[in-house]
Structure 1
Amino acid sequence: MAETTVAEVLARLAALEDPKARAVNERHGDDHGVNLGKLRAFAKDLKTQQELSLGLWATGDTAARLLAILICRPKAFGRDELDAMLREARVPKVHDWLVGYVVKKSPHAEELRRVWIADPDPVVASAGWALTTDRVAKKPEGLDLAALLDVIEAEMKGAPDRLQWAMNHCLAQIGIEHAEYRARAIDIGERLRVLEDYPTPPNCTSPFAPVWITEMVRRQQDISLGG
């Protein structure tokens, strides 16, 4: 499908429209009706096509943008290009996939992390916190974890939902990965009570940081003992 056009892709996406999928997606703030499994299968057929990806992104259509993310070449984007795309990405799934599948693989990820985490737009700032959480887990060298906890302690309680969620994830990740900060992370979570009452399905871990940290550390210990 090397010569596939944007119009052909949009027609295929329209054919994949499913009212049940739309209802599920819209409950999460995502305005499209394509089953994500079918979207991924379509992306696999298309393979990597950077020019087509750019054309699909430019349509502004949510399903097209998700597909664009799956078929793009992450390292081909410039820093300013990624910044502009992130600021356009207001749909939660587009935002999450752009950060997770594209920005994290970009050579500009660290520079954008530092810019975004201090941005006055809470949706943009949430991307900075998501990138910070990734660094806490994978490459914490050079991060001031105590300072991050200071900011979380001061600002998370009153933050808008998506920013609050991202900061809470960072809080939990610090507690899970860094034993020397675990007690403080749990204490912050217990005092702020953020997401304490979040509805959690059976067999899933609560996003309430003290529970999340304790459970993940227990699992790590079980694995190490089992090994």
Structure 2
Amino acid sequence: MAELAALEDPKARAVNERHGDDHGVNLGRLRALAKRLRTQQDLAHQLWETRDTAARLLALLVCRPKAFGRDELDGMLRDARTPKVHDWLVNYVVRKNPHAEELRLAWSADPDPVVASAGWALTTERVAKKPEGLDLGGLLDVIEAELKDAPERLQWAMNHCLAQIGIEHPEHRARAIDIGERLQVLRDYPTSPGCTSPFAPTWIAEIVRRRHDATVA
């Protein structure tokens, strides 16, 4: 904890706080610390229990993802107070855990939109990497009905899923683009030069174009 405190950077904190994260540790330095510590499950538990955001991020880097139980991960997600901790927990730990599919199904139907967003994030990964068994048309039905009025975190996760379906599955691409065009979600979101817009039709078209160009080249 003392080492984490020494890494505190006011400029990093200002940037992080604009995104809802209450820590001031440069993530590159945090990763370097985790690399030195290597995997330590007991330490990860202790760091998590501090409730300090930087400590929890470090915990997620040094833990053993497959060692957590289903209920333990569910409790951790509901206790993850900041966006970065939530995202790292889902992407670095839950995705690699044997209970990932069970949690995906449970979280996707949860009434808490932040919890539901984790379920949709796991669904998006399956859309891209393991779509067998998924009802892609059914997912598009839900997205079409709920995306427009979904709370922010859930809306982002559902929008990502919409784009991923359009990118990875040509047979659903026209419908995914049509849904995005009609709902206009994130249509005017400010995008930095060189970055891809999160507006699903633009996102889909850009990634498909890049893949086509790479294939031709």
Q: Tell me which interval the TM-score lies in, with the shorter structure as reference length.
A: over 0.9
CA distance in 2 between counterparts of 1:194 and 1:31 reads 28
Equivalent in 78, 92, 96 of residue 87 of structure 1: 78
Structure 1-normalised TM-score?
0.95
> What does residue range 119-158 of structure 1 map to in structure 2 within 5 Å?
119-158=110-149
Provide Cα deviations, 1:92-120, integer angstroms capped at 9, x if missing partner: 00000000000000010000000000000
> What does residue range 109-128 of structure 1 map to in structure 2 within 5 Å?
109-128=100-119
1:164 — aligned with what? 155
2:93 — aligned with what? 102
C-alpha contact (below 8 Å) 1:205/1:215 kept by paired residues: yes
Q: Are 1:45 and 2:45 an aligned pair?
A: no
User: What displacement does 1:90 show?
Assistant: 2.3
Provide the identity percentage.
80
Structure 2-normalised TM-score?
0.99
CA distance in 2 between counterparts of 1:177 and 1:86 reads 28
Q: Which amino acid aligns with 2:100?
A: A
Give the RMSD, CA atoms, in angstroms: 0.4
1:33 — aligned with what? 24
The alignment covers a number of residue pairs equal to 217
C-alpha contact (below 8 Å) 1:175/1:181 kept by paired residues: yes
CA distance in 1 between counterparts of 2:206 and 2:9 reads 37
CA distance in 2 between counterparts of 1:152 and 1:33 reads 35
Q: Which amino acid aligns with 2:48?
A: W
Structure 1: any 5+ residue segments left out of the alignment? Answer: 1-9
Equivalent in 172, 188, 209 of residue 200 of structure 2: 209
C-alpha contact (below 8 Å) 1:90/1:123 kept by paired residues: no
CA distance in 1 between counterparts of 2:83 and 2:30 reads 16
CA distance in 1 between counterparts of 2:26 and 2:94 reads 24
Q: Are 1:175 and 2:166 an aligned pair?
A: yes
C-alpha contact (below 8 Å) 1:18/1:33 kept by paired residues: yes
Q: Which amino acid aligns with 1:81?
A: E
2:214 — aligned with what? 223
SS of the equivalent of 1:64 reads helix
Which 4+ residue blocks in structure 1 deviate beyond 2 angstroms?
none
